[in-house]
Each structure stands twice: as structure tokens, then as C-alpha cells.
Amino acid sequence: MTGEIWLRFVSGPDVDALAITPAEVVDAVAGVVAAHGRGETVFEPRTHLEPDNDGRGHFNVLRGHVSSLGEHGTSGVKVVGDFYTNYRVGLPSELALLTLYDAWTGIPRAIVDATWITEVRTGAMTAVGARLLARPGSRVLGHVGARGTAYANVVMLDALLDLDEIRVTSRRPESREAFAERLRADLDTPVVVTESVEETLAGADVLVEATRLTEPAPLVTTDLVAPGAFLVPYGTVSALAADLLDVVDKVVVDDWREAQSGRFGALRPHLDAGLVTADSLHAEIGQVATGERPGRESDDERILFWHRGLSILDVAVGQLVLDRAEAAGLGTMVRYR
């Protein structure tokens, strides 16, 4: 052994104190999406751990490497719980921990509370997708769901688009009202609370489905997706009607291997039924970002973007957090060996 090895633990309060802006997160995510399109990442589809806990939730394990980050690139592993009943005990539904490693030696570099990272990188991916695929002049956002990632979705889309109206709903009245109040406190765009998915999505230019279903249900139907709409469904359990793809002109995913993995995801029933295949898929978002595949080609196209959450996004935003923490002297140094 040549010497002591220390790593930095960056807690949730440390992450908050860094005050990283939404624009900085979007830039980090856009950069790694393009890197993925150029083949400059090593990515493995997520795996799941489903404890014997009466169906309260499960863990996702994400692994990835980004060659362009740091001197030798950065590798990372994130474990994130997805526990839909956590609101009953005052906890976020998603709590996450990220570990970052030196790719040449395997030395652990950091342990990071990745709960905020999970929220914002998801919202940033929605925004990057909208930047590449939404119709220019989109003015109305319909958002279904009020969980942790919902806030980042709306805030980042509002910063990107010149919105006239934000519609929000969720299953529980108290959650949608609290979500709307939080948005109104931070945004100038009018926020309208609705009582149904139909009221929220009908005729909207950008439609985001982030529900917390426990069983598949056809909440998003063909009549709600207007010509020119950009639809982002990413609920763990599908809320899409079986025939929804009949009206969709292009399906774009974050990664085709990721889309095929596991038993969860918005398009899982459609994949299982053979309605989404390698041949019918339009592109991965990285291919659009690099110009390998076209994005939106007409104002009337209905485009669906399904992002399940790539590990490389966590690595990229985690590296941003680590760089800022090191520069600010934040975090707790922990001796590894």
C-alpha cells in the first residue's frame, strides 16, 4: 500500500449549498447526451432489486462511464430507491446514493447524496428532448404527476420554452395543489390545477406523464395528443393506451438497450407486444443531438420521447457536483484505507 486513500462524502445539505443552476445541469446533460451519441460513454442498462416489502417499492442500480469527464474519465454507480408510499412518512419517493470512481485505478473518489441529482437530471433530459424535438412556438405544457422529478421537469421546460400556461394534476388533490403553489412561487408563467389527466393534456403542446401507478392504466389516450405535440411519458408503470402509437409519428428513446431492459417503464407493454421494435424506432436522442438522425421535420409531427434515466446522466451531474464541492471545500473527507 503506497499511502492513505480518502474520499469525499457530499451530503444533501452540501449539494444544496453549491447552488448549481438549472441551466448548468441542462448543459451537463446535453453534453453527455451528445457524448453518448458519439460513442464516448460506456453504458449498462439498469438492474432492479425488488425486496420482500409488500410491494412498497424497489431499487434501481445504474452503472456508467463518461470518457470525457476528468483526466481519465469518470465511472459511477447509483442506487436509487423507488418507493411510491414514502409520502405517507414525509419522505421523497426517490432517495439515491452515487459513488464515483477513478477509471484507471478503481479508487473511489466520492459518495454523493444523489436525490437532488436524480430529480434534476431527469428534468434536464426532458428539457434536452424538448430542445431537440418539440415544435417551435410550443406554448402550453400539460404535466401529470407531482413527485420529486416533476418540479425539475416544469422549471426546466419553462426556462427553455416561452410558455403561456402550465397545467398540472396528480391523483391526490393535496399533492397537486401543493405542487402548483410551489411552482407559482418560483415561476411567472400561470399555473392551472386540473382534476383530470384529460383536462391537463388535451391540446397541450408539450405533454409530460410522470404518474405513480401501481398497475398499468390507459390514462394517456390518442385523442389527447394533438398534431405537433411532444409527449414525454416516463412513469415506472405504463399510463399509455395500447393504441397510442397509432397516432405517434416518431418514437425516440434515450438508449435502445435501456428501453428493452427490466419489466418497468412507460412503453413496456408496447415493447412486449412488438409495437416498438428496432425497425420502428426513429432514433436514440444522442443520434438526434449529433445530427446522425433528424429530429422534428414538420410542425404537425407527433413525437414521443421515452427516457428511462441513463446512468451517464448521473455520472455527468455527479462530476459537476464533485468539482464544485472540491472548489468550495464542501463535503466531509472520509478515510477509505
Residue type, 108: P
Number of domains in the chain: 2
Domain span at 317: 6-117+312-335
pLDDT in tens, 126-163: 999 999 999 999 999 999 998 778 999 999 999 999 89
What distance in Å separates the CA atoms of residue 287 and residue 290, rounded to the nearest whole number? 5
The pLDDT, as a whole number, for residue 234 is 83
Is residue 41 within a helix (H) or strand (E), and if so which, with residue range?
A: strand 41-49
Percentage of residues in the chain having pLDDT higher than 70: 99
CB 128 within 8 Å of CB 310: no
What is the per-residue pLDDT for 70?
78
Q: Please indicate, yes or no, whether residues 147 and 98 belong to a single structural domain of this protein.
A: no
Q: Which residues of 45-55 are buried (b: 16+ CB within 10 A; e: fewer)?
A: bbeeeeeeeee
Regarding whether 193 and 289 lie in a shared domain, the answer is yes
pLDDT per residue over 277-334, tens digit each? 999 999 999 999 999 999 999 999 999 999 987 899 999 999 999 999 999 999 999 9
135 and 79 within one domain: no
Q: Are residues 193 and 295 in the same domain?
A: yes
CA-CA distance, 196 to 219, in Å (whole number)? 9
Residues 271 and 318 in one domain: no
- Residue 76 is predicted with a pLDDT of 97
Whether 138 and 270 map to the same domain: the answer is: yes
With respect to residue 110, please indicate whether it lies within any of the assigned structural domains. Answer: yes
Q: What is the CATH number of the domain that holds 186?
A: 3.40.50.720
266 domain residue, yes or no: yes
Query: For the segment 224-269, what is each residue's pLDDT rounded down to a tens digit?
Result: 999 999 999 987 788 899 999 999 999 999 999 888 877 777 878 8
What is the identity of the amino acid at 208? V
Q: Of 45, 100, 90, 57, which Cα lies nearest the Cα of 253?
A: 45
Q: What is the pLDDT of residues 190-210, one digit of tens each?
A: 999 999 999 999 999 999 998
What type of residue sits at position 246?
D
For residue 1, being part of any structural domain is answered with no
pTM recorded for the entire structure: 0.89
- Alpha helix positions (H), 99-220: 115-133, 148-160, 173-186, 197-201
Residues in contact with 304: Cβ distance below 8 Å, sequence separation at least 6, in sequence order:
231, 232, 233, 244, 245, 248, 250, 251, 252
pLDDT of residue 223: 96
Residue 75 has pLDDT above 60, yes or no: yes
Radius of gyration of the chain (CA): 19
Provide long-range contacts, Cβ within 8 A and 24+ apart, for 221-229: 222/246, 222/247, 224/197, 224/198, 225/201, 225/302, 226/202, 226/302, 227/300, 227/301, 227/302, 228/135, 228/299, 228/300, 228/301, 228/302, 229/135, 229/204, 229/205, 229/302, 229/303
CA 329 to CA 218: how far, in whole Å? 49
- Label residue 55 by pLDDT band (50, 70, 90): confident
- 109 lies in some domain: yes
Does one domain contain both 253 and 318?
no
User: How far is it, in rounded angstroms, from Cα 277 to Cα 290?
Assistant: 22
- Residues 76-121: pLDDT tens digits? 999 999 898 888 898 888 899 999 999 999 999 999 999 999 989 9
User: Is 271 found in the same domain as 159?
Assistant: yes
